[in-house]
Amino acid sequence: MELKYEQITHKIIGASFEVHNFLGNGFQEVIYQRALAYELTQAGLSFDREIEQHIYYKNLPNPIGTRRADFVVENKVLVELKAVIQLEDVHLAQALNYLKVYKLDVGLLINFGSKSLTFKRLIRSIT
């Protein structure tokens, strides 16, 4: 049975709370990434980590660079992690750009750096 976006994001957010409840804040992003990979596996979700994606500009034939998203879960949901005191507009812009280049419709921007876990649900605008 194929999971719907809401079911997937619910499981990701639950796994993220589990990680934050155990580790708290103050670690580097990679620590949270590794812990979340474990929790996503425990939740029965399939995912890829650090998938490199080419960035193209206009109609240039060759990419102008690459970017790596933290997770793509169930081939549907992009998950970008941060470990900062507070999410800023630049973090949101980055995650929205990732949705665009990965051609995914739904994403989560999750911050482990504050005292309480914070997250934003993202939806790619079609332009």
Give the tens place of pLDDT for each residue, 7-39: 999 999 999 999 999 999 999 999 999 999 999
Q: Band the pLDDT of 1: cuts 50, 70, 90.
A: low
> pLDDT by residue (tens digit) across 87-120?
999 999 999 988 988 889 999 999 999 999 999 9
Strand partners, 83: none
Record: fold of 5-123: Lambda Exonuclease; Chain A (3.90.320)
Tell me the whole-structure pTM to 2 decimals: 0.89
**What are the tokens at 122?**
């993202």
Are 71 and 44 in contact by the 8 Å Cβ rule? The answer is no
Residue-range domain boundaries for the chain? 5-123
